[in-house]
Amino acid sequence: MEPAHDPLALVIDLRAELEGLHHLVTSEPATAGRLAADLQHRAESAGQRETVAGALLCRAEACQRTGELAAAVALINRACDPTAPLSGENQVRASLLKSFVYNDLADESTALHHTMDAVTAFTDEVPRALRVRVLNKAADLLHDLGAADDALLWYSRAEALAVGDAQMHLLVANNRAYTALEDGLVDAALAGARQLAALSARYGQPLNAASLDTVARIHLLAGDPALAADLARQAVRATEHVDFRTADGLPYYLLTLAVAERALGRLEAASATLEQARRACTEQGYARVKNEILREEAEVRAALGDHRAAYEMLKAFCVADRELLSRQREAQARIRQTLFETVTARQEAARYREEARRDPLTGLRNRLYVQERLGELLAGGLPQPGGCLSIALLDLDHFKSVNDRYSHEAGDRVLQAVARLLEAATPAGETGSFAARFGGEELLLVLVTDDRGQAHDIVEDVRRTVQEHDWSTLTPGRGITLSAGLVARLPGDTYDSLLARADQRLYAAKSGGRNRVCFG
C-alpha cells in the first residue's frame, strides 16, 4: 500500500492508528508500546503534536501495565507540555494514567484526585470507552477508600454509559463484583457473578480470563470449590484472549485454581498447579504473586502433613514479604521524588515564564505579554462573545521634568503609583482586560468591554484619578497627569495597525494640550 501524500489523509491515518493502539495496549501492552514509539516518530515528522502526545500516553500506559512506573511517569510528563495544552481526550488519558500510577503507589486519595480531573475534562469528543474507564476507576478508588455507597453510585454511572459496549460493560460488572468479593459479601458477590454470566450471554461474548477468575474466587467464597476449580481452569485457558491484561494474570489464575484444588482435597494436583504458577512467573517482577504462591504452598504442605516444609515455606514467605515491602517503599520513594521534581520544575518554569512577562519596576504586564495576549484576542480569543476590544496608549505628561527635578528614584515611584491606579481601574474577573508598561513612561490598557463607550469611560476615569491623586509626598508642588489615545478594534485590524492608530490618537491628545483622552 502506497503511503498517503494528502496531508489530511495522513493525519486521519495517524489518528486511526493511534486509536487502534489505545485498544491494543490493554491486551498487549509491550507490543502496543513498541508500535506507539514508531507512531510517535512518524507523527513528529508530520508535525502532529496531538498524535505525538497520544502516542506518548499510549507508551506510558504500556509501561504502567508492565510495572515500569518511573518510565510511565517520564512519558506522561513529556506528553503534558505546559506550553501547549492537550486536547480533551489526551487530557483525560493523562489524568487517568496519573491515577493508575498513584494507585500503584498505594496513594488512593491522590489517584482519586487525578481521576476526578479526568472527569472534569470530559467532552462529547472523548471516546465513550475512555469515559467508562474513568468512571469505573473512580468507583474502584472510592471503594478502596471506604466509600462503598459512593462507589456503587459511580459503578452505576459507568454501567449506564457502557450499555451496548460488551467489553466495557463486562469490565464494569467485573470490578463491581470483585469489590463485593473483597468485602466478603457473599450474596452481593454471587449477584455480580450472575450478572457477568447474563451479560456474557446477552452480548454473545465469552467472559475473559480476569472475569472468569473473579467468578471463580466468588464461588470459593460461597463454598463451591468444584465450580471454582472449573472456572479457574477456563481462566487459564482464556489467558491468551484477555481484554485487559495485567502482567501477573496467568500466575494469579493458576493460584486461584490451586486454592480450589486444595479445598477439594486434591493436594498433589494443587502442588503441581503451584509449580506451574511459579514457572509462569518470569525472573523479573511478579514479586507479589510469587509471595502468594509461597504462602499457598505452605498451606498445601501443611495439609499433606509435611509440617517442616510448610514451616520453611512460611518463613520464606515472611522474608520475601518483608523484602517486597522494602522494595516497594524504595520504588515508591524514587517515583515520588521524580514526580516531586517534575512538579517543582514546572512550577519554576511557570514562575520564570510569569516573571518574563512582568515589568520588574511596576509589576504590570510587559511588551512581550502584550504581543502574545493581544495577538490572541485579535485572533478571536475574546472571553466575552460579542465583546468590544479596545486599547489605550497612555503617556505621563512632561515626565522627563519629574526625573530632572525630583530624581529618577522619585520618577520610578511615580510610575509605580500610576501602575497601582491603572490596575485598580482595570475591570476584574475573566474579562481579558489588563494593564501593561509598554516602555519608559508609556503605559497601555487593553480593555474587553460591552461597548466602545464603556471603554472610553474607563480610560477617562483613569485620567481623572491620576490628576486628582495626592502626589505631594512624591513630587511636592507638582501634580501628575497623563494623555491617552484610545481606539476600538475595527474589522481587519492587526496588532500593528491597532497600535499605530492608538499612537496617532495619543499624539493628538498631546498636541491638543495633554491631560486628555482622544478617542478615534
Per residue in 453-511, pLDDT (tens digit) is 999 999 999 999 999 999 999 999 999 999 999 999 998 889 999 999 999 999 999 99
Q: HSE of 205 in the Cβ direction (CA atoms, 13 Å)? A: 17
Whether 145 contacts 139, CB under 8 Å:
no
C-alpha cell at 232: 479457574
Closest Cα to residue 280, out of 247, 318, 315?
247
Q: Under a CB-based contact definition with an 8 Å cutoff, are residues 193 and 231 in contact?
A: no
In degrees and rounded to multiples of 5, residue 68 shows phi and psi of -90, 75
The answer to whether residue 430 scores a pLDDT higher than 80 is no
Indicate the average pLDDT of the chain: 86
Residue 284 has pLDDT above 50, yes or no: no
Which run of H or of E encompasses 392?
strand 388-396
pLDDT digits (tens, 9 = 90+) for 353-408: 677 788 889 999 998 889 888 888 887 756 566 678 999 999 999 999 998 899 98
Q: Which CATH superfamily is domain 197-356 in?
A: Tetratricopeptide repeat domain (1.25.40.10)
Integer CA distances (angstroms), 267 to 181, 264, 285, 293, 304, in order: 25, 8, 27, 14, 7
Task: pLDDT band for 94, please (50, 70, 90 cuts).
Answer: very high
Going by C-alpha positions, the residue among 234, 240, 266 that lies closest to residue 253 is 234
Q: Does domain 367-519 correspond to CATH entry 3.30.70.270? A: yes
User: Over 80: is that where the pLDDT of 242 sits?
Assistant: no
Q: What share of the chain is helix, strand, coil (3-state, %, to 5)?
A: 70, 5, 25
pLDDT (0 to 100) of residue 273:
93
User: Strand runs (DSSP E) across 406-478, as ranges?
Assistant: 434-439, 442-449
Q: Report yes or no: 104 and 137 within 8 Å, Cβ to Cβ.
A: no
- The identity of residue 198, as a single letter, is A
| Structural element, H or E, at residue 483 | strand 482-488
Which residues touch 413 (CB under 8 Å, ≥6 apart)? 474
Separation between Cα atoms, residue 212 and residue 196, nearest integer Å:
9
Cβ atoms of residues 402 and 410 within 8 Å? yes
Question: Which pTM does this prediction carry?
Answer: 0.59
Least confident of 17-31, 231-245, 256-270: 231-245
d(CA 457, CA 461): 6
Residue with cell 485579535: 378
Contacting residues for 219 by C-beta, under 8 A, at least 6 apart: 193, 225, 227, 228, 231
Non-local (6+) Cβ contacts of 317 within 8 A are 291, 294, 295, 298
Name the pLDDT band for 342 (thresholds 50, 70, 90): low
Angle between the N-to-C axes of helices 186-203 and 166-182, in degrees from 0 to 180, rounded to the nearest 10: 170
Give pLDDT, residue 372. 86
Query: Which residue, 478, 485, 493, is CA-closest to 378?
Result: 493
Q: Are 264 and 226 in contact (CB under 8 A)?
A: yes
* CB burial readout 355-364, b (16+ within 10 A) else e: eebbbeebeb
Domain boundaries, the chain: 197-356, 367-519
- Grid cell, residue 210, equals 480476569
The three three-digit cell numbers of residue 7, written as one number: 496531508
Instruction: Give the DSSP letter string of 27-73.
Output: T-HHHHHHHHHHHHHHHHHTT-HHHHHHHHHHHHHHHHHTT-HHHHH
Q: How many CA atoms lie within 13 A of 141 on its CB side?
A: 25
Q: Nearest to residue 122, comparing CAs of 90, 151, 100, 170?
A: 90
* Percent of the chain's residues with pLDDT above 70: 86
65 pLDDT higher than 90: no
pLDDT at 63 over 60: yes
Give the residue from 365, 474, 479 showing the smallest Cα distance to 410.
474
SS3 of residue 388 by DSSP: strand
Whether pLDDT at 349 is above 70: no
Q: Does residue 475 contact residue 427 with C-beta atoms inside 8 Å? A: no
Give 6's pLDDT tier (boundaries 50, 70, 90). low
Nine-digit cell string for 299: 498451606
Query: Please, which pLDDT band fits residue 229 given cuts at 50, 70 and 90?
Result: very high
CA–CA separation, 301 vs 287, rounded Å?
Answer: 21
Give the closest residue to 367 by CA, choosing from 312, 305, 435, 311.
435
Strand 517-519 versus strand 482-488 pairing type: parallel
* CB-based contact 121:95 (threshold 8 Å): yes
